[in-house]
Amino acid sequence: MKFTLGWLKQHLDTDADIDTVAEALTRIGLEVEGIENPGEKLSDFIVARVLEAKPHPDADKLQVLSVDAGGEPQQVVCGAPNARTGLIGVFGPPGAYVPGSDFTLKVAAIRGVTSNGMMCSVRELELGDSHDGIIELSEDALGAVGTPYPEFAGLNDPVIDIAITPNRQDCMGVRGVARDLAAAGLGTLKPLDQVYAEFGGTAPVEGEGDGPDIAIEDQEGCPAFYAQRVSGVANGEAPEWMKRRLTAIGQRPISALVDITNFVMIDLGRPLHVYDLAKLDGGLVARKAKPGESVVALNEKAYTLDETMTVIADSSAVHDIGGIMGGEHSGVADTTSDVLIECAYFTPEAIAKTGQKLNLTSDARQRFERGVDPAFLDEGLAIATRLVTSLCGGSASGITRAGNPPAEPRSVAFKPEMARTLGGIDLDTATQTDILTRLGFEISADGTQAIVPTWRRDVTGPADLVEEVVRIHGIDNVPSQPLPRPAGVAQPTATWEQKLERKLRRAAATRGFHEAITWSFISESDAAIFGGGNWTLANPISEDMKVMRPSLLPGLLTAAQRNLAHSEDSVRLFELGRRYIGDTEHPTLTLVMAGDAAPRSWRTGKARSFDGYDAKEAALALLEAAGAPVANLLVMGDAGDAWHPGRSATLRLGPKNVLATFGVLHPRVLKALDLDGPVAAVEIFLDAIPEKRSTGFLRPAYTPAQLQPVTRDFAFLVDADMTADTLIRAVKGADKKAITDARLFDVFTGAGVAEGKKSLAIEITLQPGDKSFTDEELKAIADKVVAAAAKQGATLRG
């Protein structure tokens, strides 16, 4: 939420500067996300007066102005239709940056006449959308000629942007923020009547005659609906002070009637809506939408409604998606003369569900779904009506009040001792009572109950009172207490799973992978690519974060795509997180390799892309680091629909226990996630890795072999579809004591090899024990190797 320092001080009587306010906001839980001064970008612009305006000698639509900006008159070429002698406006000298047009002014010749800067429009200074001519200031600005424009216009008012947690609905208005700061001792909260005194206070404007024709049929979705009619209004521009405040926080001024509702919503956290009475057909009713009904909202988009949604409608059509956004048809315009002001209370849960279904967000929805003050309907309507009649004229009718807001007093047990036992601070009861009273709570006469203010829907128990006391007293004032620690050397507390994750993180980083942390929530469409998600959030942050991920790949692939789009040639990412499948979560290490595995060079020519062998190498290395029995793993197919058939596989310990999936991802997956080229990946399932039995803290003694190893090469003819892993496994098992390693070093098909066959060449490492091998022993081992290969259908190649 954004507001200016001056706007805050409208409600808070304080001399605190911006730094003090920012520090206090963060200290009481309203985290400051940013502070900016909108006047800084306009510091070079000056209030100036046109001394003379005469036609350009070589252009019919241009004029040559002599401009007084506080020094020597400046010659300026101007094409604005309202430029004239005596006009007081805003001058941009050479060197000034024009934010609305994104260029820096310089001395330039325009049709042969030198122009030293420019006279500026509202749009060019990003103060509004008007671009009909240059800014015209009133005669009151004559004495300010030569003054920096931000200083004259009051634009040097810092804008504060704070993060509001979902439970703090009371701080969705500037007054709520001011109340919190006053409770924290930063000033005094001004009475609301004093704040709005210039508009006639906050007492209800009863007006004359009957109130508008309104009713409620959906009592559950809209418990209360208040309205008042104002006739004979003139909907022009809002006053400068209101437009300036709205503009500073990013709200575009539209018209006085619309700006009033936006101002009251941001100032007091009370959303309102104004209808053009001439566009309504009879009275208004708050009801459930009919299935298939539609409405074109103020954002110019059409929405199809269903029977679960609360709407405001007349006898002909829907005019408002209750509590979220008004309809375009009944919105006020420049010609509006009679209006109906709506001030209603909508049930937060209903608003949230409707907004999610329609994927529609608005400032009103943000406030209603958190819960606005149900006791502020009369005052909110009175303030809006007084602003309308003060700024737009007209006469008010009586007030119609349909339904009753849920504003019954609530109380929770007040237990001062909990501040010490739960909050860790030792404050006396009087201090705690004072803090709660400043926040709007009332403590009962016997001191056992706290009556909760109607604007604090989030306070439901004694622990919430402790939170308020600690928050305002200051979390930084909670004394630090070290946890008790037994004497002696501490015993290790990390579990086997924690140690495994630490080890794998280090191993992945050592191999050149960068760790990423992605969201645990993904969209339904991304989840469907990887088998669909079992856990769907009922209240997601957005539709793109609705499903708990069944795989870590969508998040990593999106991160890889973003890196490649920023001209990264080679992307190696890993993440250690949880997959959510069935009713449980599964710890998983996932790696993604995209782009170039090796850059182009004079030796290799073009760059090499990552392939399945890169993925297999990484999978085996990390499994070995995890302590998995790599020598016993089987390479088997059936990696899944998300993987490229024939270029992916699984690593299993036995036929059913899948430890890892590796290979190249399916092109369909890459296309869905906007990735080009092959992408290799690995998924290691940590909960499938068998836990090693504890053998104490000491490692076995290092005992290197005393004799040199011996290598022998064998070439076998096998069926073309036989995997090398099958043959290597058989060969290594021929003599487990003597054969310490076997690896493939050549694959050949072609001349001399029958069709349907291939030649696999394997290097075998033999390690002698206490004496060297004799020729007879080597021949015996070779015979065992050939025999073991023969059992797999392999024959020794001649």
Q: What's the pLDDT at 566?
A: 92
Q: What's the pLDDT at 582?
A: 84
For residues 123 and 182, membership in a common domain is answered with: no
Confirm whether 700 is domain-assigned: no
Q: What's the pLDDT at 244?
A: 86
For residues 503 and 462, membership in a common domain is answered with: no
pLDDT at 697 over 60: no
Q: Mean pLDDT over residues 608-612, rounded?
A: 94
For residues 436 and 511, membership in a common domain is answered with: no
Binding site for Mg(2+), by residue number, is 458, 464, 467-468
Distance of alpha carbon 448 from its chain centroid, rounded? Answer: 42
Q: Which domain holds residue 204?
A: 198-403
pLDDT in tens, 154-170: 888 999 999 999 999 99
For residues 362 and 387, membership in a common domain is answered with: yes
Contact indicator for 150, 239 with CB cutoff of 8 Å: no
For residues 500 and 623, membership in a common domain is answered with: yes
For residues 130 and 165, membership in a common domain is answered with: no
For residues 659 and 785, membership in a common domain is answered with: no
Q: Mean pLDDT over residues 397-426, rounded?
A: 94
Q: Mean pLDDT over residues 333-346, rounded?
A: 96
Number of helices and strands in the chain (H, E): 20, 42
pLDDT in tens, 734-743: 998 999 999 9
Cα–Cα distance for residue pair 217/312, rounded to 1 Å = 10
Distance of alpha carbon 75 from its chain centroid, rounded? Answer: 49
Confirm whether 487 is domain-assigned: no
Distance of alpha carbon 520 from its chain centroid, rounded? Answer: 13
Q: What's the pLDDT at 698?
A: 62
Contacts of 385 (CB under 8 A, 6+ apart): 205, 207, 228, 230, 341, 396
Q: Residue 741: which region, alpha, beta or left (left: phi > 0; alpha: psi -120 to 50)?
A: beta
Q: What's the pLDDT at 491?
A: 76
Q: What's the pLDDT at 490?
A: 74
CATH number of the CATH domain containing 760 = 3.30.70.380
Q: What's the pLDDT at 153?
A: 85
Domains identified in the chain, total number: 6
For residues 619 and 732, membership in a common domain is answered with: no
pLDDT at 797 over 60: yes
Cα–Cα distance for residue pair 22/248, rounded to 1 Å = 17
pLDDT in tens, 593-602: 999 999 888 8
The last residue of one of the domains, among 100, 125, 153, is: 153
Confirm whether 165 is domain-assigned: yes
Contacts of 677 (CB under 8 A, 6+ apart): 594, 595, 609, 670
Q: 384 φ, ψ to 5°?
A: -60, -45
For residues 344 and 416, membership in a common domain is answered with: no
pLDDT in tens, 267-299: 999 999 999 999 999 999 999 999 999 999 999
Q: What's the pLDDT at 704?
A: 84
Confidence of residue 761 (pLDDT cuts 50, 70, 90): very high
Confirm whether 540 is domain-assigned: yes
Q: What's the pLDDT at 694?
A: 61
Confirm whether 697 is domain-assigned: no
pLDDT at 48 over 70: yes
In the DSSP assignment, the letter for residue 447 is S
Which of 154, 141, 126, 131 lies closest to 48, judged by CA? Answer: 141
Confirm whether 736 is domain-assigned: yes
Please name every residue paired with 288 in a beta bridge, in sequence order, or none if there are none: 310
Arithmetic mean of pLDDT over the chain:
92
Distance of alpha carbon 119 from its chain centroid, rounded? Answer: 40
For residues 435 and 502, membership in a common domain is answered with: no
Q: What's the pLDDT at 111?
A: 92
% of the chain surpassing 70 pLDDT: 99
Confirm whether 486 is domain-assigned: no
Can you list the pairs that 471-479 forms with residues at least 24 positions away whose Cβ atoms lie under 8 Å?
471/28, 471/29, 472/28, 472/180, 472/183, 472/184, 472/435, 472/438, 472/439, 473/425, 473/427, 473/431, 473/435, 474/27, 474/28, 475/27, 476/27, 477/425, 478/423, 478/424, 478/425, 479/424, 479/425
Confidence of residue 201 (pLDDT cuts 50, 70, 90): confident
CATH number of the CATH domain containing 233 = 3.50.40.10
Confirm whether 511 is domain-assigned: yes
Q: What's the pLDDT at 197?
A: 87
Confidence of residue 696 (pLDDT cuts 50, 70, 90): low
- Joined tokens for residue 681: 């990946």
Q: What's the pLDDT at 50?
A: 96
The last residue of one of the domains, among 388, 403, 418, is: 403
The last residue of one of the domains, among 655, 688, 721, is: 688
Radius of gyration in angstroms for the set of CA atoms belonging to the chain, rounded to a whole number: 37
Q: What's the pLDDT at 683?
A: 97
**Sheet strand arrangement including 59-68:** 74-78, 59-68, 46-56, 88-92, 118-119
Q: What b/e readout covers 411-447, taking b as 16+ CB neighbours within 10 angstroms?
A: ebebbbebbeebbebebeeeebbbbbebbbbebeeee
Binding site, by residue number, is 458, 464, 467-468
CATH number of the CATH domain containing 439 = 3.30.56.10
- Joined tokens for residue 669: 């997956």
List, in sequence order, the alpha helices (H) in 136-201.
Answer: 149-153, 174-183, 192-195
CATH number of the CATH domain containing 625 = 3.30.930.10
Q: Mean pLDDT over residues 786-793, rounded?
A: 94
For residues 100 and 240, membership in a common domain is answered with: no
For residues 453 and 440, membership in a common domain is answered with: yes
Q: What b/e readout covers 371-409, taking b as 16+ CB neighbours within 10 angstroms?
A: bbbbbbbbbbbbbbbbbbbebbbbebbbbbbbbebeeee
The HSE-up count of residue 459 (CA atoms within 13 Å, CB side) is: 26
Which pTM value belongs to this model?
0.65
Contact indicator for 469, 423 with CB cutoff of 8 Å: yes
pLDDT in tens, 504-543: 999 999 999 999 999 999 999 999 999 888 888 888 888 8
